[in-house]
Amino acid sequence: MTAASITGLAHRGDARICRGCWDQMHVPIPIRGPLALPFRAFGITRSKMNPNICTICERSFRYVKKQSHVAASATILFADIRGFTHLSERIERVRLSQIVSLFQDRCAEGIWAHDGIVNKTMGDGLMAIFNFPIVRKDHAEAAIRAALDIQRLCADALGSLDLDWLGGQPLGVGVGIHSGDVEIGEFSSFRSDFTAIGGTVNLASRLESQAEAGEILLSPETAMQAGALAADATTRLLTLKGIEQPVEARVLDHFIVSSKQ
């Protein structure tokens, strides 16, 4: 099999080989089909971070990159349910967990469709990385498209729920996105999963914390890389915790679910 044909197996929506291992090491690890069966016997399966990468990418960073962490250019996305505290005070725990699962599933769907990974889940929030381990030169654009999908999918899903008891409180998703240099690797002695750290991650998190229900806040760096996708965004000057200079965020909106009036 030629390198071109192997690349064809990797770079498709339903990849037959791990896209991360191919992009990072040029090693074809089967993750679907009959050839994947022997690998499953050794615990090499599709990753929960993205079904188009495998658990070698997820748990064996030192093996893949030959070092504990590396510098990389990436786009970081944070998403969180707005109105969650209000919601959690008015709903039983079983139904609350169902809404959180719905949110996590819809976010993952949007992120995976654009080659990102769901790197961390934090109850009613999550963090995604674009451009590692699956390489995307247009990672800022990919993250924005994922965010737009997240807003659309979550608005549709939440809109199907009976929310009359919310008392007019809007329920939606806030998203923050920033592009820049990060350190990616394993930073814990008792966990082998990799993650990203650094100022880029912090700024993306701070932007998400300021996003209202239905909004996507982009850093100037992300907006500049995204071109036409951010052309219609409005500007909002933000003072963010831990960030010395005000940030001219670009704002894409509005996907809000409200109770019936």
Give the tokens for residue 151.
Answer: 């807003």
Taking CA atoms, 61 is separated from 21, 106, 194, in Å, by: 10, 27, 7
Is the same domain home to 119 and 191?
A: yes
Condensed to tens digits (0 to 9), the pLDDT of residues 125-171 reads 999 999 999 999 999 999 999 999 999 999 888 777 766 655 556 67
Per-residue pLDDT tens digits for 47-74 = 999 999 999 988 888 888 888 889 999 9
One domain, residues 80 and 132: yes
Instruction: Indicate if 99 and 194 belong to the same structural domain.
Output: yes
Whether residues 188 and 167 fall in one domain: yes
Is residue 35 assigned to a domain? Answer: yes
Looking at the structure, do residues 130 and 173 belong to the same domain, yes or no? Answer: yes
Whether a cis peptide bond, with omega within 30° of 0, leads into 254 is yes
Which pTM was predicted? 0.91
Model confidence over 222-258: pLDDT tens digits? 999 998 999 889 999 999 998 889 999 999 986 655 4
Indicate whether 179 and 76 sit together in one domain: yes
Could you tell me the residue range of the domain that residue 174 belongs to?
69-257
- For residue 257, what pLDDT is reported? 54
Looking at this protein, which amino acid is placed at residue 149?
Answer: D
Q: Are residues 46 and 144 in the same domain?
A: no
Do 212 and 130 lie in one domain? The reply is: yes
Identify any residues that bridge with 234 across adjacent strands, giving them in sequence order.
251
What are the structure tokens assigned to 38, written together? 């022997």
Q: What is the structure's pLDDT at 260?
A: 43
Q: Within this chain, do residues 180 and 80 fall inside the same structural domain, yes or no? A: yes
Q: Are residues 103 and 35 in the same domain?
A: no
Residue 112: count of CB within 10 angstroms of its CB: 21
Say how many domains are in the chain.
2
CATH number of the domain residue 94 falls in: 3.30.70.1230
Q: In this structure, is residue 64 part of a structural domain?
A: no
